[in-house]
Chain A
């Protein structure tokens, strides 16, 4: 069975790299984008199974990414999890109104993130995240 593909959109290269390492170790294929424009373009190109989306992005922001994706029928169905360092008060409601499946506030616990990803993708839950000791090599 092919790995599920996840697009991560975040303007912080360290956040991107950290999520990339963690999700790749959990057998997901990863695509990356760093701003509003490349987020939409990469979604078009790779048609991921799930998008992890930051809100504070250059050239528009995460809400604009959601707005653009909603206008493209084949991409409008891709589930989006918003992961933001912004406060959750107004942003959470706005994210849900824009179609997000979940809203997580940074810093996000790895187990929590993986659980939400699996739940969103309809995958069975795992007891704990894999480590080098489980896998031999990564």
Chain B
């Protein structure tokens, strides 16, 4: 983990980076469990993981709102995609 930066914009960048990485992991592994990629869940287990994911989404919303107020709304996704053909070398 990196050392916390100075207040204001550096602090928001630090918080954004650390919290979004942690949330990314919660979402990734929660969805891996729900989708059964690590084995079948019982109905009760699936419900509990679902609750965990819903609350992770709530944290994300709060984080987005809080950090948007500091740094302006970040783009969540942007693409300029064209299909790519890999050249044989």
Interface residues of A (CB under 8 A from B): 12, 14-15, 18-19, 21-22, 25, 47, 49-50, 56, 74, 77-79, 85-89, 92, 96, 101-110, 112, 116, 119-122, 129-133, 138
Tell me, in angstroms, the Cα distance from A117 to B59 when the chains sit together: 26
Contact indicator A92/B75 (Cβ below 8 Å) = yes
Query: Could you show 8 A-B contacts with beta carbons less than 8 Å apart?
Result: A12-B25, A14-B29, A22-B28, A22-B31, A77-B86, A89-B72, A101-B82, A122-B83
Contact indicator B29/A87 (Cβ below 8 Å) = no
Known: A18-B32, A56-B17. A131 touches B37 (CB 8 A): yes
Residues of B with C-beta under 8 A to A25:
35, 37
Residues of B with C-beta under 8 A to A92:
74-75, 78
Contact indicator A121/B37 (Cβ below 8 Å) = no
Supply 12 further A-B pairs (C-beta < 8 A) apart from A86-B13, A87-B12, A122-B84.
A12-B21, A15-B25, A18-B25, A21-B37, A22-B37, A88-B78, A102-B78, A106-B20, A106-B23, A110-B31, A119-B79, A120-B81
Residues of A with C-beta under 8 A to B39:
132
Contact indicator B67/A87 (Cβ below 8 Å) = yes
Query: Is B89's beta carbon under 8 Å from chain A?
Result: yes
Tell me, in angstroms, the Cα distance from A125 to B81 when the chains sit together: 14
Contact with A along B26-42 (1 / 0, CB 8 A): 11110110011111100
Taking the nearest CB of chain A, how far is it from the CB of B56, in angstroms?
Answer: 8
Residues of A with C-beta under 8 A to B16:
85-87
Contact indicator B85/A122 (Cβ below 8 Å) = yes
Query: Is B62's beta carbon under 8 Å from chain A?
Result: no
Query: Is B5's beta carbon under 8 Å from chain A?
Result: no
Tell me, in angstroms, the Cα distance from A122 to B85 when the chains sit together: 8
